[in-house]
Amino acid sequence: MGHQTRASGDRLPAWVDADAAEVTGRQPGCCPAGGAAIALAPPPLSPARGAADEGLAHDVTAYVRPDGAGYALALMVEGIHCGGCVAKIERALAEQPDVRRGRVNMTTRRLALAWDGPPSRGGELAALVGRLGYRVAPFDPDQLASADAAEEKRLLRAMAVAGFASGNVMLLSVSVWAGHFQGMAETTRDLLHWFSALIALPALLYAGQPFFRSAWAVLRRGHTNMDVPITLAVILASAMSLHETMTSGPHAYFDSAIMLVFFLLVGRYLDRRARGRARSAAERLLALRATAVTVVDADGTRRHLPADRVAPGSTVLVAAGERIGVDGLVVTGRSDVDTSLLTGESVPRPAGPGDRVFAGAINQSAPLTLTAQATGEDTLLSEIVRLMESAEQNKARFVGLADRISRAYAPAVHLLAAVTFLGWWLWGGAEWQVALLIAVAVLIITCPCALGLAVPAVQVIASGRLMRRGTLLKSATALERLAEIDTVVFDKTGTLTLGRPDWIPDPGVDGESLALAAGMAGASRHPLARALCRAAPDVPVLADVAEVPGRGLSLDTPDGPIRLGSRAWCGAAVDDRDAGPELWLARPGRDPVRFGFLDTVRADAADTIAALKARGLAVELLSGDRAPTVAAVAAQLGIADYAAEVTPDGKVARLTALTEAGKTVLMVGDGLNDAPALAAATVSVSPASAADISQTAADAVFQGDRLHPVVDLIDTARKVDRLVKENFVLALGYNLFTIPIAMAGFVTPLIAAVAMSSSSLVVVGNAMRLAGWRRPG
């Protein structure tokens, strides 16, 4: 029943009637049951055509954002009920030569648009979708939540009316059925039929509006959707029953018509609630944005501004317990910041002067003063949302298959219903009323919506589950490819290790040498220099330190130059016993001093490697580091196949060789430096700090100091693969089983409605198993 959820559907916030120039709860042309308006205070309408004619709520140009060389726009689309709707919209957009991307997510009803051209083109493309019979508006999760609640109330009211009418009409029908076997007079039967008509027809007109208006909206534009056969079935059953009542005939089925609508509304409501639980991870992240930010002016005046109106460079005050609204650097204050919804890390992180914090995080302990660096659509949160939307919108293999099957639905279902009617009437010897009722059951029971939901429902739940665990999918097909891997190749630095070297305290290094080296290191951003600064945080940075690329740092003194850098540059003797990263301090007239560093292996790296082997996967290590260091890490983690001093080209060559040998390879490496190797693998995963997410070239990114998300990704991918295949079997099996039974006359319209609703609920329910699934240890 998933395709029906939005006929009365996921109401968008409120709609502007162009003729009346006022905000109302009514949606011209394609609206569900009317209701109270939800004020949006939208921008002015485009004067070119009325918004009602174009299917637009209001001008969308203000919501267009830059996207590479062009522009992009995220819209909510109302009236999508099946894969055929999705295919129709995407075909129309694909025919536009300047459109780079036009993807509809059936589960979330989000349309992601990207095009080359001026920002005003966004309004034209939205109007194009509107002319197909769908209502569009800029995506706004805050307004959507309240609008969804209002629409659920409207559905409940329609259900109540249909349920009340069904109960009363059914009582009258019982009297007719009983009287049929006891010699009831025709006049009495006709009177009971008229009473049934007086109750059922007004109830049908009100409770059936979610289906009628959606069907009319697409038919008037020359298209069809899932609500067309439903509307046709209800109208045919009601019209036939009214005709029989007016002509004193016995075949009045008002009870079937009103019960049909009642059960369809029940299924639509339940499916709506189920989809609410499977809301997009990107949609949930958007809800993390702070609604207002406190800006402190130069004169100390405080102003409250919307987060997207704060200018970079502004001073922002974040109170304890408040959600941070911008990306920025802490100027004053120390606090604990909860980044769990961004990074998946459950332990709050300390934040003090100089630390970077991100929009969406919660300041827990004490007030912080920030300098805003990025605001609105430029924040990390917005970037993650864009990546999530891209991953959810792009099409996996199974989605394309489902769309192709669903595309043939509309002509096929009407043809089957016509063949059924003619077959029973002309050759089956049935009265035309009985033949029509069987055809109505065929119209209702044929259902492509379960097929259309088979993949998107699982995809959305999987991406949300992984996001909550600190893993971000950047490709829609990543899980599909991860489910098939048989070999995992790791990089070392920053992957198996933390990529954050720490100085190893050495008794041979005196305090004076450490202070001098740390003072010089403060002038460099090199990781080893940063490690020395962490080892002596109170040492001031020395002036006049020059950085010599590829060699190190130099400081001129009256006694001669002091150098901090490589062994060769500092004149230290070669000693093979010294393994691992190092810096040397050379001073005039004194022996060079060695500073050794250790890039710590991730705490769970050994367990992760063991878990991968337990799942039957081959594990390799490719590193550009020196052989002794790589060998030590490989031995520590139990990796038998490893190679050291491998160039980037060498990594690509090894991955290409594995692929040509028939292996399906997962590359886990630094997404900032290993882009060629990541691209050469079947699928790729990178560890990344929050600030680096948008820069990585991998298909998925995990955050934090743990490596186990790699195992979680693989296990989730395999579970998703099983669920998607199960959903396909359920959806295809439903249609292959029920359609012949309905055509054979064994299914009433009422049973067809129940079966149709149940098919989508079963598919969504099967997908929801992933939300509560616990990965094996």
- The string over 78-96, giving b where at least 16 C-beta atoms fall within 10 Å of a residue's C-beta and e elsewhere, is bbbbbbbbbbbbbebbeeb
Kindly indicate the confidence band of residue 408, based on its pLDDT and cuts at 50, 70 and 90. low
pLDDT value of residue 44? 33
Q: Return d(Cα 259, Cα 170) in angstroms, integer.
A: 9
Question: Which H, E and C letters describe 343-357, residue by residue?
Answer: HCCCCCEEECCCCEE
CA torsion sign, 671 to 677 to 680 to 683?
negative
The predicted-structure confidence for 236-283, as pLDDT tens digits, reads as follows 888 888 988 898 888 787 887 787 788 778 767 766 665 555 455 555
* Residue 258 contacts residue 272 (beta carbons within 8 Å): no
The predicted-structure confidence for 603-651, as pLDDT tens digits, reads as follows 899 999 999 999 999 999 998 777 888 888 899 999 999 998 887 778 8
DSSP string for residues in 181-195: TTT--HHHHHHHHHH
Q: Return d(Cα 339, Cα 36) in angstroms, integer.
A: 38
With a cut of 60, say whether residue 684 has pLDDT above it. yes
Residue type, 391: A
Mean pLDDT of 42-59: 41
Q: Return d(Cα 269, Cα 152) in angstroms, integer.
A: 7
CA distances from 479 to 397, 434, 656, 674, 713 (A): 11, 49, 21, 21, 8
Q: Return d(Cα 57, Cα 149) in angstroms, integer.
A: 19
Neighbours of 206 (CB within 10 A): 14
Which member of 271, 491, 670, 674 is catalytic?
491
* Residue 391 contacts residue 473 (beta carbons within 8 Å): yes
pLDDT value of residue 256? 76
* Residue 329 contacts residue 356 (beta carbons within 8 Å): yes
**Comparison of pLDDT for 176 and 576, the residue scoring more:** 176
The predicted-structure confidence for 116-139, as pLDDT tens digits, reads as follows 988 888 888 988 988 887 888 877
Domain ranges of the chain: 148-276+399-457+720-768, 501-599
The answer as to CATH 3.20.20.220 being correct for domain 501-599 is no
pLDDT value of residue 287? 59
CA distances from 523 to 10, 55, 537 (A): 56, 59, 13
- The string over 651-661, giving b where at least 16 C-beta atoms fall within 10 Å of a residue's C-beta and e elsewhere, is bbebbeebeee
Kindly indicate the confidence band of residue 378, based on its pLDDT and cuts at 50, 70 and 90. confident
With a cut of 50, say whether residue 36 has pLDDT above it. no
Mean pLDDT of 733-756: 82
Q: What is the pTM of this model?
A: 0.58
Rg (CA), the chain: 33
* Residue 210 contacts residue 34 (beta carbons within 8 Å): no
- The string over 414-445, giving b where at least 16 C-beta atoms fall within 10 Å of a residue's C-beta and e elsewhere, is bebbeebbebbbeeeebeebebbbbbbbbbbb
The label of the residue with tokens 């900032």 reads 672
The predicted-structure confidence for 418-427, as pLDDT tens digits, reads as follows 899 899 988 8
641 in catalytic set: no
